Chain A
Amino acid sequence: MNDPYRVLGVSPSASDEEVKRAYRELARKYHPDNYQDNPLADLAEEKMKEINEAYDAITRQRAGGGQTAYQSQPSGPSAGGYNANAGYAGSRDPFFQKVYQAIQVGNLAAAERLLTEEAPTRNAEWYFLMGVVCYHRGWLDEARQNYQMAVQMEPGNLQYRQALQMMDQGGYNTYRPAGFTSAEGCDPCSTYLCISCLTPWGGPCC
């Protein structure tokens, strides 16, 4: 394993508190919630694992090398594993199951070919999966249009509605580094206002 201190970006002489703070910031950054449906979710998950192991190793080391001396297990990725398009566990229809598998292994061309050439019917699920293919390509507008179609055809389906809602919000909440955290909604025109009048410290709000 890599040097746990390097993984957390702190020096070996850092205090317990500093190590914990660095770990928390990284855990906030790589948290699976920030990478829901993101084509890079697997890389974030790997990073999360790496920092969990590093933090574990350091706390064990500092507690005197005992395996169980440090009980508090840091909050890692949620148990049960994390999948792209959480909520959609695959289809009961074997054809759509095949399409979904192709998407999961990253073979978008194959998934699209199956959908456009071999699909027996264009039902709500067809549009939903087409939306997923578009989303993974980065075609966000077309992904939204497909999700919308799926919702129209099957308004009762929660997954389709969630997918559409996610698009209408411009994606899930993502990590913002320290110093940029409250910049949301702080457009450059009102920034000037925030700078001097609205913050008690008279400094920038974000």
Chain B
Amino acid sequence: MSAPNKSYDPVEVEALKPEVVEQARDEAFAAFAAAASLEELKQAKVAHTGDRSPLALANREIGALPPHAKAAAGKLIGQARGAVNQALAKRQTELEAERDARVLVEEAVDVTLPYDRVPRGARHPLTTLAERIEDTFVAMGYEVASGPEVEAEWLNFDALNLHQDHPARSMQDTFFVQAPDGSADSGVVMRTQTSPVQIRTMLDRRPPLYAVSPGRVYRTDELDATHTPVFRQVEAIAVDEGITFADLKGTIEALVEKLIGTGLELRWRPSYFPFTEPSAEIDLQCFVCRGASVGNPDRPCRTCSSEGWIELGGCGVVNPRVLVAAGVDPDRYSGFAFGLGLERILMNRHNVADMRDMVEGDVRFTLPFGMEI
């Protein structure tokens, strides 16, 4: 390297001649553009921006120039080096993008491969249906109550105004539990309805009472497509001052709307249950055919058997005798109660044709229902 020399003429330094600098710059541009891979670009980088590159060497000459010439030379070299670095960075980015694209393509997999490695489970639709109904009532302010499946006859029958010789008592084909002496006089049965929970709720607490209680009940029916000896009911009861049949209607309408949908007609048929008076059976307009299949053999409806109505369950205003037996003052309080068959709701709401499917526990039936219904 030469020492500073006042008389030194920068023009005389070959490397700092503008045309030489431009040439070095253009050569760098060409080398970068010609680099086909990051590896080649690295070599070009060393050649054109490294310590031994022409521009780096030229840069060193600047120090030897007289002060007045330094600025111009510095600017010349600086601009050239800046342009070279920019070109390098640009090419670097281009080549990296190319490489990335190539690698990611190579790493591609078939995302449609099945992956049933962790088996899925499911809850029984009758369980989740009961929960959905519970939730509807809980949202209205009700509580969920429960009682034993093997129940005292007094609670299952007598307290519900079904005395020993009541014809309705033989209508329900009851499983009787053996007494200690082996006879049928144990006073204990498998509950035939969830209604004893009504009584237990009233015995436990003072009105106002608003409770819903789903549960298994038992009758001596053989299993077939539409019957099962073990089935589920949901019972709801409201006991408060001034409860009327109108409150019952409003509550059931709200439930049906939540559970099945809007715009469906309900039919209220007077009926008879010993524990309610007045009593009604509730039919829901068939939500599949909406009654169009009635008397129309060309358009039969499987859901309602072309009857236009689907039986939902029974209900009524709690018979004051039931209130008395449960220790509620019938002059002050009144109540309503209703019971719905869950199997039937499931059959209708989810097009289940055969009751046996709900009973047998075939996983192919249950799995599609998942965790909620």
A, B from the same assembly: no
| Chain B contacts to A: CB under 8 angstroms | none
| Chain A contacts to B: CB under 8 angstroms | none
